[in-house]
A and B are shown apart, each in its own frame.
Chain A
Amino acid sequence: MIEQLFPNVDWDKMWEATLETLYMTAVATLFTFLIGLVLGILLFLTGPKGIYQNRLSNLITAAFVNIFRSIPFIILIILLIPLTKFLLGSIRGPNAALPALIIGSAPFYGRMVQIALAEIDKGVIEAARSMGATTWTIIRKVLLPESMPALISGITVTAIALVGYTAMAGIIGAGGLGNLAYLDGFQRSRTDVTIVATILILVIVFAIQWIGDILVKRTDKR
């Protein structure tokens, strides 16, 4: 039955491509989360009315975020080829996609983090200061826990965008489902391969959304 519907699909290859997509998405999401947090916290603390108001560092961080958020991803990959080569020694395979994926999405997530932190009740931060908390304690025990649901829904959206980015990176040789759909499906006119790859990507996206929703629900005690 399945053989008849999808005569051209090589299931081993399809599975391998799925794992590559999952690998790229997972690693890129992890680094995007960490770097985005740092960028977002910096933007928040140095911004107007922040604890460490600092125009210069705010300006520099904001410029970095805005520039890398604005460059179309496909162009960013090409621009980052020298960096990728320097870091990994190759521009092919799943790892080669990572620098572009992270640099492309971390600034995007950084803005989301900043927005999430700005939503926190200022009174709670004042309360922590009135108890003699250090800035580091405020970040760890007030800012992050109090904005956790927003941080999680933000990284969920970002991870889903990253699945799309991996497909794009696949076209220029990074592997994964996008690569398979393009090379095997499109260029060799095997529509069934494209359809299966698309379905698998949809499954991954739904799974990410589902996990994200559960985590948001679990952390939100408001």
Chain B
Amino acid sequence: MKPGNRHGNVKWCQITQSASALADERKCAGPETERLRDLSACPQTGLFYYRGDQMIKLEQITKQFRLSNRTLTAVDAVDLEIREGEIFGIIGYSGAGKSTLIRMLNGLEKPTSGNVTVNGMKMSSVSGADLRKARQKVSMIFQHFNLLWSRTVAENIAFPLEIAGVKKADREPKVRELIRLVGLEGREDAYPSELSGGQKQRVGIARALANDPDVLLCDEATSALDPETTDSILDLLTDINKRLNLTIVLITHEMHVIRKICHRVAVMEAGQVVEMGNVLQVFRSPQQPITKRFVSQVTESPDVKQAIGQLIKENPDGTLIRLGFVGERTGEPVLARLIRTFNIDVNILQANVSQTHGGTFGSIILNLAGDESAVAEAVEFLHSEGVETEVIERD
């Protein structure tokens, strides 16, 4: 099926970071789709792109902390642009600077140099009452929830409304609505100590949404939760993103989180963004070593790696190749055709499929045994089919 048939006039292109590319994309998207906020997949590349107005812009952000004997550069000349309605993930190990970076988006930290603009407001230079006002529209949820234990669920959610000066009579219906939104009906009068971790984070989310923010910042919001609860919280965030067209910026050290809900991702290492792009693209072809490590968190568990090592030993003959499939390609019977067309033995050593926010990608590791030229032709065939193919070296 040709993309044009299915999607009318919409042309496809992929997100890039430069301003000129953004302009190109706007042109390419055409006026009729200019205001579309949905992520759309390009069937040819399997990539997603995003068309929304700019919400957050970081220009050459640097943050240094003066320690007793040296200066620590936590964030080093970061440029970033996040669009309205996007779920943008920042991944890095602890100490990479992501926590400092996200705190500059709501002015909890001031950059040493550079500009932070959120929805037209220069967060890096406002202060006092203006900053406090701006913060009501850039809310935050936390790894350890940071609820007031002295207040009930309903009172915790009402807290930001009190800060914003909302009258009591107007607070009550809003709190009820938020409790319904996060699925905590019946727990209004419970204290945080009576709630599970997942429920606490739901309160945190409801509290963060109280003043109808433009941006939600998630500071390792699921890192203290078990895998199942993590997924339910991520589902809630996705739901909120869709329903309220809320821009979400999250930091995490878990690639699983990025894979599950993010549209785009930035990888941070030593204060710098070392890689950035569409999630599916980053998963398909990670460039930096650190990105590869993060991707392998999801695609290769340590068990699998060990198993592959074992399989390499057990299959001393033949060529090991890794195939990457993205988007629509995951459903195509490329392998069947490979086996039918070429006179070689194909042994599947490992295979997996992962679901990202907008599409699937998978990888298969094959052992091709047979005539050398036939194997070479087979690899060529896979290339020509548009399957990402990588020959695994034996060491």
Binding site for B on A (CB under 8 A): 121, 123-124, 126-134, 137, 141-142, 145-146, 148, 219, 221-222
User: Do A124 and B135 have beta carbons less than 8 Å apart?
Assistant: no
User: Do A221 and B132 have beta carbons less than 8 Å apart?
Assistant: no
User: Do A130 and B149 have beta carbons less than 8 Å apart?
Assistant: no
CA distance A132 to B166 in the complex (A): 14
CA distance A143 to B155 in the complex (A): 16
CA distance A145 to B191 in the complex (A): 14
CA distance A220 to B359 in the complex (A): 48
- A127 shortest CB reach to chain B, Å: 4
Residues of A within 8 A of B176 (CB): none
User: Do B140 and A127 have beta carbons less than 8 Å apart?
Assistant: yes
Residues of A within 8 A of B146 (CB): 121, 123-124, 126-127
Q: Chain B residue with minimal CB distance to A131?
A: B160
CA distance A131 to B160 in the complex (A): 6
Q: Chain A residue with minimal CB distance to B162?
A: A141
Residues of A within 8 A of B151 (CB): 145
CA distance A79 to B390 in the complex (A): 88
Interface core residue of B136, B140, B148, B164 (most chain A CB under 10 Å) = B148
Residues of A within 8 A of B162 (CB): 137, 141
Show 28 A/B contacts (Cβ-Cβ < 8 Å), sorted by A.
A121-B146, A123-B142, A123-B144, A123-B146, A124-B146, A124-B148, A126-B108, A126-B142, A126-B146, A127-B146, A127-B147, A128-B163, A130-B108, A131-B159, A131-B207, A132-B131, A132-B132, A132-B133, A132-B136, A132-B163, A133-B163, A141-B159, A141-B162, A146-B148, A146-B150, A219-B150, A221-B192, A221-B193
Asked if B139 is an interface residue, CB under 8 A from chain A, the answer is: yes
Asked if B106 is an interface residue, CB under 8 A from chain A, the answer is: yes
- A83 shortest CB reach to chain B, Å: 38
Q: Chain A residue with minimal CB distance to B129?
A: A134
Mask, B143-175, CB within 8 Å of A = 1, is 010111111000000011011100000000000
Q: Chain A residue with minimal CB distance to B217?
A: A130
List 19 extra interface pairs beyond A131-B211, A132-B160, CB under 8 A.
Answer: A126-B142, A127-B140, A127-B146, A130-B106, A130-B139, A131-B139, A131-B163, A132-B133, A132-B164, A134-B132, A137-B162, A137-B163, A141-B162, A146-B150, A148-B150, A221-B150, A221-B192, A221-B193, A222-B149
